[in-house]
Amino acid sequence: MAGRALAMIGSLAIAFILLTSAASHADGYALDTGDVLRVSVVGEATYPLEVTVDDRGSISLPLLGDIQARGLTTVALSQAIRDAFRQQKLILEPFVKVDVGQYRPFFISGTVARPGSYPFQPGITVRHALAIAGGFRATIAGNTEPALQIADLRSTRSNLAIDEYRLKVRLARLQAESRQDTTFTAPPDPPIEFGGHLIADIIAAEQAQLDARLAAYRDDVSFLEASLGRARKQADMVAATRKEREKTASLQFDELQSARALRQKGLITNSNVETAERAHTSYRAELAQTEVQQSQVQQEMLNAESELRKKHQTHEMDLITQTQDTEVELGKIQSQIRYVADKLLFIFTYGDQRTFDDLHGSVKISIFRRDQKAAHDIAADENTEVRAGDVIEVSIVANKGFYAPDTSGTTMLPPGQASVQPSIVGQ
């Protein structure tokens, strides 16, 4: 009975692995930060459990610690977990299954009814994403008078331009901090909406941030380096003390041996030998204590070196994270600026809301996609497949389908619309 039960368990486990492999190969989904995974290990009480891929692209598992997941499929991650169990000799033949419990979201912005983030599902296209976001909307201001819309959009554009410049200055400051520079060069293209004092205030605030962060980091490093220096000095002193005590103990032992030889010849008494033996025992005890002390100071030195390395690594990772977040935020702001500019042009030249069918061929769809190495802007259409983490930007190409210039240089619009010179957009 026991043999048949074990055979049945083995068969079920093999079928379990085969089904998992087939599903994951069909999926081919590459894991990344934000994915929630369900990890099952047959026979382990702490499993199944749900874990989230962190900012480093890793997951943390009981018994195993951190496992790199970014860029892997569920099959590859299952194999990595099995290999980790084998390497650490925790389970000889582990049966591991990894499923995606919740995909990281995608984002959609621009001329849609409800821009924002939405749960990702494999196989969705831009057309599905547009439907999820409420469909395409040429304008979101409803029946508001176009002149009022233009005023609101210009105000929005000015605010976005200020945010864009502030992020550019922050990015310059972060890049200077990563080089350990005490100053940075501000971007040379402040928007026209800025007054001189506002530019100076933004730059001064980031310079103060740079000064404070560099000072704090250097103080921490100096403290850790001083601690390490003290530990090394103490280790050298203990090593020298141990060496001297070893010499003294060796000389004392030689004296003890001489005393014993003299006692055998009847030249000295037993009390003299006993005194030498006590002295030798005392020296040996001091030597043993020195050895223990040397081990302790060596461990303190290793700990100080480790803390210093951690400080450098933490500072570097913090800068990388802040730089990436700033770049993403800057990309979003610039996307909004493009959207507002396109919308201004559209309202100038068209003025009324249009249906998606009316605007066919005049909608620009681009996808901001980040992989393991870099980020890319991808030209897309309604049938382009969406990936988790994508930022979909929907905007209007106002010079393609909204109007066609005639030979006189004025703008030809649909019946009932007043012509507008394109140069007004820049006003």
State pLDDT tens for residues 324-342: 999 999 999 999 888 888 7
Q: Which two tokens stand for residue 126?
A: 């831009």
Domains in the chain: ranges and CATH: 30-102 (3.30.1950.10), 107-138+356-402 (3.10.560), 146-350 (no CATH)
Least confident of 6-15, 39-48, 213-222, 272-281: 6-15
Among 67-71, 266-270, 362-366, the range of highest mean pLDDT? 67-71
Distances (CA, A) of 327 to 69, 118, 367: 23, 21, 16
φ, ψ of residue 135 to 5 degrees: the values are 90, 170
Q: Per-residue pLDDT averaged across 353-374, rounded?
A: 68
Q: What confidence category does residue 136 fall into, taking pLDDT thresholds of 50, 70 and 90?
A: low
What type of residue is 403?
Y
pLDDT at site 39:
92
Question: What pLDDT digit, counting tens, does each position of 156-168 carry?
Answer: 888 888 888 889 9
% residues pLDDT > 90 (the chain): 16
**Section 237-242 average pLDDT:** 79
CB 391 within 8 A of CB 117: no
- Greatest extent of the chain over all pairs of C-alpha atoms, in Å: 135
Q: Average pLDDT, whole number, for the chain?
A: 76
- pLDDT, residue 240, reads 78
Task: Assess whether pLDDT exceeds 60 at residue 91.
Answer: yes
Where residue 124 falls (left for φ over 0; alpha for ψ -120 to 50; beta otherwise) is beta
Residue 250 tokens, joined? 């060796």
> What is the pLDDT, as a whole number, of residue 357?
56
Is the confidence at residue 131, as pLDDT, over 60? yes
| pLDDT at position 418 | 36
Q: What is the mean pLDDT of residues 5-23?
A: 41
**Rounded distance, CA 360 to CA 381, Å?**
11
Least-confidence region, from 98-102, 110-114, 188-192, 349-353: 349-353
Q: What is the pLDDT of residue 87?
A: 85
Closest CA to 303 of 197, 227, 409, 378: 227
- The identity of residue 238, as a single letter, is V
pLDDT at 415 over 70: no
Q: Each residue of 20-40: pLDDT tens digit?
A: 443 443 357 888 888 899 999
